[in-house]
C-alpha cells in the first residue's frame, strides 16, 4: 500500500510520545501526592537552565560591597546560578516549600535579660524539609532517574528556582513570597535528569505594597528588591568580628536574626498571627554562664562563623547592654577580664549604657590593666558616655 511505511512510522512515534507523556504525568502526580502526604506546602518544576539575571545581581552585590561578609551564593555566583556547573546531567529542578510558621511559635515580648531568636531559627526547621526532599528523591530514583537534594546549599539560588517554577514571586524585601504563606517558608530543591513539566511563573506580585521597606529598623532594604547586608541586623548577628557601634543599640534584644520585614508583609500576616505559643526566648545570663561546647551544640543550627561560641556571647552582651539594668553590672564587669578581647570590648560598651555607679568603677579599674587598643578605645568611649 502506498504510504503505509510512513503511516506505520508516524503511528509508532505517536504511541511512544503518548507513553512518554503518560509516564511523565504519572511521575509528577506521584511527586505531588508524596509532597502533600509529608506536609510540604508547595511543589513545582522548572528547567535546569542557568539564571543569568540572578548571577548578575549577585555579582553586583559583591562588587558594591552590599553582600558584606555573607558567603552563601555570593561566594561563587557563577556556580550558584548555573545548576549544570555542579550537575552536568541536570534536566529539571524540583523545588518545594515548607512553612515554618506557626510551628516556630511567636516571639516573646521584650524583657530585660532575655534575647530573641528569629522564627526561622527557633529550632532546626530545615530538618522536616530535608526529610521530605529525601522522600521525593527516592520517588525519582525509583522511576529510574538520577536525583540529588540541594537544600540550604551554596550551589543553587533556590529563591530563583521557586520563582521560575511558579510557586513563589519575588518580594520587595528580596525574600520570595507565596499566597497564604507570605515569606514564612523555607525552600529546598532536587536536581534530576527527569524531563518534568515546567511551571508557569506566578503572575502575582507585591504591587504598590512596600510595607517591608520602612519596617526594617536599619534601612537595610535600600530600594525595592535591593538589600544592603552591611545594614541588615540578621546578617550582622551572624557575622564575625565586632558589631558596628552604630547598630548595637538598634539591635535591641535581637540575639539572632530579625523578623521585622517578614512580620510587616501582609500576605503572611494571618499565618504569623496563628502561632499560639511563645518561642525563641534566650536567658542571656544563663547562656553566658554555659560552657562553649554545650552552647555550640544548643545552637548548632545557627549560621555562626565556624560555629564559634564567642559570637553568640558577643550578641548576648549587646542585648544586656541594651537592657541597661543595674542587675547586669556584675556579669558585664566580670567580662572585662575575659581572655577574649572581642568580649571585653563589647562588655565595655554595654557598661557604658548603665546608670549604675559601679559600672564606671569597673571600667576605670579595667582601664589600668587593659592592653588591647580596641578594648581601651571602647573603655574610654564608655567612660566618656557615662561622664
For residue 94, tell me if it sits in a domain.
yes
> Looking at the structure, do residues 248 and 328 belong to the same domain, yes or no?
yes
Helix, strand, coil percentages (3-state) for the chain, rounded to 5, are 50, 15, 35
Sheet holding 147-150, edge to edge: 42-47, 92-99, 185-192, 147-150
The yes-or-no verdict on residue 19 having pLDDT over 70 is: no
Q: What is the pLDDT of residues 118-170, one digit of tens each?
A: 999 999 999 999 999 999 999 999 999 999 999 999 999 999 999 999 999 99
Q: Which of 31, 167, 46 is nearest to 99 (CA)?
A: 167
For residue 205, tell me if it sits in a domain.
no
Give me the domain span that covers residue 28.
Answer: 4-192
> Looking at the structure, do residues 74 and 107 belong to the same domain, yes or no?
yes
The yes-or-no verdict on residue 14 having pLDDT over 60 is: no
CB-based burial label for 73 (10 Å; 0-12, 13-18, 19+):
buried
Q: Please, what sign has the CA dihedral across residues 287, 290, 291, 294?
A: negative
For residue 199, tell me if it sits in a domain.
no
Last residue of a domain, one of 140, 164, 192: 192
Q: What is the pLDDT of residues 281-339, one digit of tens each?
A: 999 999 999 999 999 999 999 988 877 999 999 999 999 999 988 899 999 999 999 99
| Residue 72 pLDDT | 77
> How many domains, in total, are found in the chain?
2
Beta strand 254-256 with 185-192: parallel, antiparallel or unpaired?
unpaired
> Looking at the structure, do residues 231 and 338 belong to the same domain, yes or no?
yes
> Looking at the structure, do residues 241 and 126 belong to the same domain, yes or no?
no
For residue 147, tell me if it sits in a domain.
yes
> Looking at the structure, do residues 263 and 347 belong to the same domain, yes or no?
yes
Q: Please, what sign has the CA dihedral across residues 249, 251, 252, 256?
A: negative
More confident residue, 108 or 231: 231
For residue 198, tell me if it sits in a domain.
no
| Residue 4 pLDDT | 52
Cell of 212: 517591608
> Looking at the structure, do residues 221 and 182 belong to the same domain, yes or no?
no
Last residue of a domain, one of 144, 160, 192: 192
For residue 200, tell me if it sits in a domain.
no
How distant, in Å, are the alpha carbons of 120, 130, 336, 345, 349 from that of 376? 37, 47, 11, 8, 11
The yes-or-no verdict on residue 371 having pLDDT over 70 is: yes
The yes-or-no verdict on residue 11 having pLDDT over 80 is: no
> Looking at the structure, do residues 178 and 244 belong to the same domain, yes or no?
no
> Looking at the structure, do residues 45 and 174 belong to the same domain, yes or no?
yes
> Looking at the structure, do residues 224 and 371 belong to the same domain, yes or no?
yes
C-alpha 334: how far from chain center = 34
Q: What is the pLDDT of residues 44-62, one digit of tens each?
A: 999 999 999 999 999 999 9
Last residue of a domain, one of 129, 161, 192: 192
For residue 363, tell me if it sits in a domain.
yes
> Looking at the structure, do residues 144 and 221 belong to the same domain, yes or no?
no
For residue 204, tell me if it sits in a domain.
no
> Looking at the structure, do residues 64 and 184 belong to the same domain, yes or no?
yes
| Residue 133 pLDDT | 97
Confidence class for position 18, pLDDT limits 50, 70, 90:
low
More confident residue, 249 or 11: 249
Report pTM: 0.89
> Looking at the structure, do residues 380 and 270 belong to the same domain, yes or no?
yes
Amino acid at each position: 500500500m502506498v504510504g503505509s511505511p510512513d503511516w506505520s512510522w508516524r503511528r509508532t512515534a505517536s504511541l511512544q510520545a503518548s507513553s512518554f507523556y503518560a509516564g511523565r504525568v504519572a511521575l509528577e502526580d506521584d511527586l505531588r501526592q508524596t509532597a502533600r502526604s509529608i506536609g510540604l506546602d508547595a511543589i513545582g518544576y522548572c528547567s535546569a537552565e542557568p539564571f543569568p539575571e540572578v548571577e548578575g545581581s549577585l555579582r553586583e552585590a559583591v562588587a558594591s560591597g552590599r553582600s558584606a561578609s555573607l558567603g552563601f551564593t555570593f561566594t561563587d555566583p557563577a556556580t550558584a546560578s548555573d545548576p549544570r556547573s555542579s550537575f552536568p546531567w541536570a534536566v529539571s529542578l524540583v523545588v518545594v516549600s515548607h512553612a515554618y510558621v506557626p510551628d516556630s511559635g511567636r516571639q516573646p515580648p521584650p524583657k530585660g535579660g532575655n534575647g530573641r531568636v528569629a522564627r526561622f531559627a527557633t529550632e532546626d526547621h530545615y530538618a522536616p524539609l530535608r526529610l521530605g526532599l529525601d522522600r521525593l528523591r527516592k520517588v525519582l530514583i525509583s522511576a529510574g532517574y538520577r536525583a540529588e537534594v540541594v537544600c540550604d546549599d551554596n550551589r543553587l539560588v533556590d529563591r530563583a528556582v521557586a520563582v521560575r517554577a511558579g510557586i513563589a514571586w519575588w518580594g520587595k524585601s528580596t525574600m520570595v513570597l507565596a499566597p497564604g504563606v507570605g515569606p514564612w517558608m523555607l525552600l529546598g530543591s532536587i536536581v534530576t535528569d527527569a524531563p518534568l513539566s515546567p511551571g508557569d511563573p506566578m503572575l502575582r506580585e507585591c504591587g504598590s505594597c512596600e510595607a517591608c521597606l520602612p519596617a526594617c529598623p536599619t534601612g537595610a532594604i535600600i530600594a525595592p528588591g535591593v538589600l544592603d547586608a552591611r545594614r541588615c541586623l540578621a546578617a550582622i548577628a551572624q557575622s564575625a568580628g565586632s558589631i558596628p557601634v552604630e547598630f548595637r543599640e538598634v539591635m535591641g534584644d535581637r540575639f539572632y536574626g530579625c523578623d521585622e520585614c517578614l512580620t510587616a508583609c501582609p500576605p503572611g500576616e494571618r499565618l504569623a498571627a496563628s502561632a499560639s505559643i511563645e518561642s525563641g526566648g534566650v536567658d542571656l545570663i544563663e547562656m553566658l554562664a554555659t560552657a562553649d561546647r554545650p552552647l555550640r551544640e544548643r545552637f548548632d543550627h545557627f549560621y555562626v562563623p565556624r560555629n564559634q561560641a564567642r559570637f553568640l556571647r558577643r550578641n548576648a552582651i549587646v542585648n544586656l547592654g541594651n537592657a541597661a539594668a543595674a542587675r547586669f553590672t556584675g556579669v558585664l564587669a566580670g567580662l572585662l577580664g575575659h581572655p577574649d578581647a572581642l568580649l571585653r570590648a563589647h562588655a565595655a560598651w554595654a557598661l557604658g549604657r548603665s546608670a549604675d555607679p559601679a559600672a564606671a568603677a569597673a571600667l576605670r579599674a579595667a582601664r589600668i590593666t587593659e592592653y588591647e587598643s580596641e578594648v581601651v578605645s571602647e573603655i574610654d568611649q564608655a567612660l566618656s558616655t557615662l561622664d
